[in-house]
Structure 1
Amino acid sequence: MATRPLTGTKVFLILVAFFGVVIGVNVTMMKLAIATLPGTDVDSPYAAGLAYDREISAAQDQASRKWQVNAHIERRADGNAVLQVEARDASGQPLTGLKFAGRLERPTDKRADLAVGLAEAGIGIYRGNAASVAPGQWDLVIEGDAKGERVFLSRNRVILN
Structure 2
Amino acid sequence: MEMREIKGWHVFAGFAAAFAIIISVNLVLAVSAIRTFPGLEVKNSYVASQTFDERRAAQDALGWDVAARHQGGVLTLAIRDREGRVIEVDALEATVGRATHVYADVTPDFRMTESGYVAPVELGDGNWNIRMTARAPDGTPFARRVVLIKE
TM exceeding 0.5: yes
Aligned pairs for 1:76-95 within 5 A: 76=72, 81-87=73-79, 94-95=87-88
How many residues in Structure 1 have an aligned counterpart in Structure 2? 147
* Structure number with higher strand proportion: 1
1:158 corresponds to which residue? Answer: 148
Larger Rg computed on CA atoms: 1
Gaps of 5+ in 1: none
CA RMSD of aligned residues (A): 3.7
Query: Which letter maps to 2:15?
Result: F
Q: C-alpha offsets along residues 60-112 of structure 1, whole Å, 9 cap, x if unaligned?
A: 11222334x54332154xxxx4222344667858425x2212233434x1335
Runs of 4+ residues deviating >6 angstroms: none
SS of equivalent residue, structure 2 residue 147: strand
Aligned pairs for 1:14-53 within 5 A: 14-37=10-33, 38-39=36-37, 42=40, 47-53=44-50
For residue 145 of structure 1, the aligned residue among 117, 131, 135 is 135
Aligned pairs for 1:104-143 within 5 A: 104-107=96-99, 109-111=100-102, 114-122=105-113, 125-131=116-122, 133-143=123-133
Higher relative contact order by CA 8 Å / sep ≥ 6: 1 or 2? 2
Gaps of 5+ in 2: none
What is the Cα deviation at residue 14 of structure 1?
Answer: 1.1
Percent identity between the two aligned chains: 13
- Quick one: distance in 2 between partners of 1:123 and 1:84? 11
1:65 corresponds to which residue? Answer: 62
